[in-house]
Amino acid sequence: MEILEFEKGYFVDTLGNVFSSKRENMKELIPAKNKKGFMCLCLYLNGGPTSDYVHRVVANAFIPNEDKHNSVMHLNGDKEDNRSSNLKGCSRSESLYQSITYSGRVWNGNVRNNN
Element of type H or E holding 23: none
For residue 58, the one-letter residue type is: V
pLDDT of 44-72, one tens digit each? 999 899 999 999 999 999 998 888 888 99
- The pLDDT of residue 98 is 78
Domain 10-112 CATH assignment equals 3.90.75.20: yes
Could you count the other beta carbons within 10 Å of the beta carbon of residue 91? 14
Residue type, 43: L
pLDDT of the residue at 114:
45
Tell me what the pLDDT averaged over the chain comes to.
86
Task: State the alpha helices, DSSP H only, in 23-91.
Answer: 54-62
Nearest CA-CA partner of 52 in 43, 65, 61, 60 = 43
Tell me the whole-structure pTM to 2 decimals.
0.82
